[in-house]
Structure 1
Amino acid sequence: MDTLPAEILIEIFNLCTTDPAEPLVPLNLSCVSTWWREVVQSSPRIWQYIHLDDRSTLAFSRAQVALWTRRSYPLSFDITLDVAQSSNLILPLLSPLLPFMDRWRHFTMTGLRQESVVLSGSLADGIDPLIISLQDPDQAAKGSLRRTFAGMAPEWLAMNIWVSELPQPLTLLPMHFTAVVMSEHSLSIHTQPRSILEFLSMCPQLVAFSFAGWHHDDEERMNAPPLPVVRLPELRKLHLRTTCGTRSLLSCIDAPGLTELYLASLNVDFQLALPIEEDGDSDDEAGDFSRSPGSDRATGMGLRRLLLRSNPPLRVLHMDWSDMRTKDFRFAFDHLSSLEWFFISASDMSDRVIELLRPFSSVRLPMLRRLELINCNELSGEVILQVLSARVAVTDTLSELAIIQCEGFTEQHAALLRKDFRGTLETSREAM
């Protein structure tokens, strides 16, 4: 063997490294002799196969990835991941490799999931979004028909993972995803806001985040440790749906660049547990009727904290089956000087809220261009007409109006409003 030239040894050694049952072949070969060590350490080809499994410690796997990615540079590499215990470990095992995605050539998973995908040449723009499906442990192990890496567009891949709980931040390295879509797929899954916030702390470049859950009582109790505040300077779009953790999430996300906030299906008719009381927690002086007083308070207080902490230049506020108290609408309208589009559906808000948009010495929401009121049946048509007529008389920013299925607003009100309004007014919609 000592008489063989280095080129032949490299070919032989390279063949040995392809066996996933022997993940440490390069290290073993380098222990045979000084000559072999020189050959192994000087040849990137011998380090092109990275074999990981969930029976090793994460510290060992991180050290292995660091060594193999360094020694294989500048070549691409293949990854084999054997997951025999839990799909919850897939992301922790792969997170050290995510910064090197431009060098991924082939990915194979064995164990609980069987899949193989060629990635060379398809990662020009990296992998986005990260799609996290929270499922029961047996369902998470099986996953779905989607692959871990699935194409969403030419040269654009999404990463799908199926877990029963979110990985702890200590098990991850910072990830460079710009979009994360997280959703619960089982009533038995109860993802606490603390776990979500801690996970988001490992995504510092996040631009868009979406969470859809179930209506659990997620608010932490008064004796719980303070929730971490997560700074996401690049976050532009935030979407929360069907969760009782709205207050905790909005209160603890620091997003100074946020421009779009979508709140959907947050209303619940049961009382939520209160954290430590803050300014604004007192009862609403307006005393308006509400079918969801607990979630109204939670949504309003969360939005207050977000606005006070980050002062984001929100341009879109979309509230679908999500409501607030009158005092919280007043606070929000006083602080949303950049808002261009306000959508609200199925709200119990009263005429007092619409009155906030009437111009007096100043105009609230001075940049408002599009206003949509859908199925807001506590509003009276006369007040809507008076407020909007007064508003369009002093400002020309409002150009799109939709007042749909609001029982108090009739065609007669619409006809009178059209006399003053120069923009587009929609009063009916085929499918709601």
Structure 2
Amino acid sequence: MTTDLPMAALNIQQTSDNISCLPTELLIIIFSYCASEEPLGPTAIRGVCRRWANIADAVPVLWRRILLDNTKLPISKLQHQALLFLQRSEPFPLDVEVRTHDPERVLPILAPLLPSISRWESFTSVGFRDEHVDMKEWPLSSNAVSPIPLDRLVLAVHELEPEDDEGGSTADNTNPFFKYQSIFTLDGSMQLRIASLPSSAQLVPLHFTHLTISEGVLEPTHTNAAAILDLLLAFPVLRVFIFEGWQHDDEPLSYPTPLPLVSLPYLEVLHIRTTCFIRRLLSRLYTPRLRTLILAYLNVDFRVQSAVYEGDEGDSEDEAHDFSQSPWSDHATGMGLRSLISRSRPPLQVLEMDYSDMRTKDFRWVFDRLTDLEEFRIVASDMSNKVIDLLRPVRSTKDGSMATLRLPQLRKLHLDHCQRLAGDALVVAVAERTAFTDSSHIYNKFADVTVTACDQVETRHEDALQIILGPRFNC
């Protein structure tokens, strides 16, 4: 029997009283066969007559196979189709199949179904890659002993390599985002290798709590601040965001439309690594719950377009005129951090800066406002003695009494390869702060001070810090 017969039966129904008089139980058997041979059969059945529509709507098993074919229908219609089948099939398990030649479309197509992935019994992809996954025993499945949520999304922005003559890929098999690695992983992640980020306009709100975007190094395919911010609009419950880029500065001086302001009310961890548009990213985020900020490998020795004068407070030259090997990226990082803190007033507890720097005026501005910061780590910084002096108690110029203490909750200080920092200045700042906080019941005391490979910190300075801090000092 061919697959055309079930659809032919639908046409016969209009003229045959025999079919219209069949009992419901027999019609259900026929409809089930139709659905097994033709995935869109249930929708065709519903359009024949009211009785058939009522039967189809009352039999969830007819809707459990979901075929989303982007070669025949646009994304908007596929999303509507996915929701219809998802609702009608409740509570049965689902067999999900996606057909598309464009990997950028996979996430928009599957978006309506992802919150219900525990119901998936199998997943099949055809076109951009061929894959079949039996998900009955996966940790994501409701059948698993301890089902885990699908809460992590990893997007690798790479140029997509053509397949070789034998059907394999020219991609490096050691790459974690190798083309034929499964889209869904055992740790509750979904990962896609794509050439560009999808638009938020194509996505329904996604309920991932962890998002990682990575750019392939030195590839012709890369992303920009506008695309990242636009995508973030589709992640209303995001808690962790990691962006790993590379240092290309091809951002236009101005966008035809303003960059969106993205509200991430639940974001707690923000990790940005290796990019030249740090200012544009940080200046358009609202993160009122941010607790951990990690900035890594942002220093560059060339002019960064996103650091050009924009007229914001603090954009003027640094009055300290301290030495810097990366003045343009220092400016961009500092101004981006100012904007983020001004808008969000986050209860930041951890600030880590690895090969990422700011101007002295930006350090002062930031330290004056991070009243909840408990841990400050900085690696390979050009920070001067003026910055470490900011940790000393600030005393009144009139009578010498204490007025304020910057970073009043600071407990951990890690300084690594800070080559411009003088040992004498470090000892004075730590000694004064330690004497003050150790005798106070209001401010946090140092719990850990670590100094590593700072050229101007000599053995005599280390000995002095050991006396001041005792076991709290690590060298």
Q: Does 1:10 align with 2:42?
A: no
Comparing 91-100 and 384-393, the one that deviates more: 91-100
Contact kept, 8 Å, 1:401 with 1:423, in 2: the verdict is no
Q: Does 1:69 align with 2:86?
A: yes
What residue is the counterpart of 2:425 in the other structure? 383
What residue is the counterpart of 1:147 in the other structure? 182
Residue 112 of structure 2: SS of its match in structure 1?
Answer: helix
Which deviations, in whole Å up to 9, do the C-alpha atoms of 1:361-399 show, x marking residues without a partner?
Answer: 221111111100000010111111111011111113111
What residue is the counterpart of 2:172 in the other structure? none
What residue is the counterpart of 1:131 in the other structure? 154
Match of 2:303 among 253, 267, 271: 271
Deviation at 1:71, TM superposition (A): 1.4
Q: Does 1:237 align with 2:269?
A: yes
Q: Structure 1's 315 and 219: CA in aligned 2 closer, same or farther, altered over 3 A? A: farther
Identity of paired residues, percent?
41
- Matched AA of 2:91: P
Q: Structure 1's 219 and 37: CA in aligned 2 closer, same or farther, altered over 3 A? A: closer
Match of 1:312 among 333, 342, 346: 346
- Matched AA of 2:287: A
Distance (whole Å) between structure 2 residues aligned to residue 181 and residue 223 of structure 1: 25
Residue 300 of structure 2: SS of its match in structure 1?
Answer: coil
Deviation at 1:35, TM superposition (A): 4.4
Match of 2:216 among 167, 174, 185: 185
What residue is the counterpart of 2:204 in the other structure? 173
Contact kept, 8 Å, 1:193 with 1:248, in 2: the verdict is yes
Using the size of structure 2 for normalisation, the TM-score is: 0.84
Distance (whole Å) between structure 1 residues aligned to residue 471 and residue 191 of structure 2: 44
Q: Structure 1's 385 and 279: CA in aligned 2 closer, same or farther, altered over 3 A? A: same
Distance (whole Å) between structure 2 residues aligned to residue 133 and residue 68 of structure 1: 30
Deviation at 1:53, TM superposition (A): 1.6
Which deviations, in whole Å up to 9, do the C-alpha atoms of 1:102-161 show, x marking residues without a partner?
Answer: 322221111221112233463333202100010113369965242111112xxxx10011
Matches within 5 A, 1:10-89: 10-19=28-37, 22-32=38-48, 35-55=51-71, 56-83=73-100, 85-89=101-105
Contact kept, 8 Å, 1:17 with 1:23, in 2: the verdict is yes
Distance (whole Å) between structure 2 residues aligned to residue 409 and residue 301 of structure 1: 30
Q: Does 1:162 align with 2:193?
A: yes
Comparing 118-127 and 68-77, the one that deviates more: 118-127
Deviation at 1:66, TM superposition (A): 2.2
What residue is the counterpart of 1:283 in the other structure? 317
Matches within 5 A, 1:107-122: 107-120=123-136, 122=139
Distance (whole Å) between structure 2 residues aligned to residue 350 and residue 224 of structure 1: 40
Using the size of structure 1 for normalisation, the TM-score is: 0.92
Q: Structure 1's 112 and 18: CA in aligned 2 closer, same or farther, altered over 3 A? A: farther
Unpaired runs of at least 5, structure 1 = 428-432
Distance (whole Å) between structure 2 residues aligned to residue 325 and residue 357 of structure 1: 16
Q: Structure 1's 266 and 170: CA in aligned 2 closer, same or farther, altered over 3 A? A: same
- Matched AA of 2:104: N
Contact kept, 8 Å, 2:157 with 2:222, in 1: the verdict is no
Match of 1:96 among 91, 112, 122: 112
Contact kept, 8 Å, 1:358 with 1:390, in 2: the verdict is yes
Residue 150 of structure 1: SS of its match in structure 2?
Answer: coil
Q: Structure 1's 228 and 238: CA in aligned 2 closer, same or farther, altered over 3 A? A: same
Distance (whole Å) between structure 2 residues aligned to residue 223 and residue 33 of structure 1: 53
Contact kept, 8 Å, 1:129 with 1:179, in 2: the verdict is yes
Matches within 5 A, 1:205-220: 205-217=237-249, 219-220=251-252
Residue 227 of structure 1: SS of its match in structure 2?
Answer: coil
Structure whose CA Rg is larger: 2
Distance (whole Å) between structure 2 residues aligned to residue 349 and residue 219 of structure 1: 28
Contact kept, 8 Å, 2:216 with 2:222, in 1: the verdict is no
Deviation at 1:4, TM superposition (A): 5.3
Unpaired runs of at least 5, structure 2 = 1-18, 141-146, 170-177, 395-401, 439-444
Deviation at 1:417, TM superposition (A): 1.5
Deviation at 1:223, TM superposition (A): 5.8
Distance (whole Å) between structure 2 residues aligned to residue 208 and residue 279 of structure 1: 29
- Matched AA of 2:315: D
Deviation at 1:162, TM superposition (A): 1.4
- Matched AA of 1:368: L
What residue is the counterpart of 1:415 in the other structure? 463
Deviation at 1:424, TM superposition (A): 2.2
Contact kept, 8 Å, 1:231 with 1:254, in 2: the verdict is yes
Deviation at 1:225, TM superposition (A): 2.9
Distance (whole Å) between structure 1 residues aligned to residue 446 and residue 354 of structure 2: 21
Distance (whole Å) between structure 1 residues aligned to residue 75 and residue 256 of structure 2: 29
Which deviations, in whole Å up to 9, do the C-alpha atoms of 1:234-274 show, x marking residues without a partner?
Answer: 00000000101111111111000000000000001110112
Deviation at 1:17, TM superposition (A): 2.1
- Matched AA of 2:467: K
- Matched AA of 1:402: T
Comparing 137-146 and 340-349, the one that deviates more: 137-146
- Matched AA of 1:199: L
What residue is the counterpart of 2:406 in the other structure? 364
Distance (whole Å) between structure 2 residues aligned to residue 369 and residue 218 of structure 1: 40
| Cα RMSD for the two superposed structures | 2.0
Q: Structure 1's 412 and 18: CA in aligned 2 closer, same or farther, altered over 3 A? A: farther
Distance (whole Å) between structure 1 residues aligned to residue 420 and residue 228 of structure 2: 35
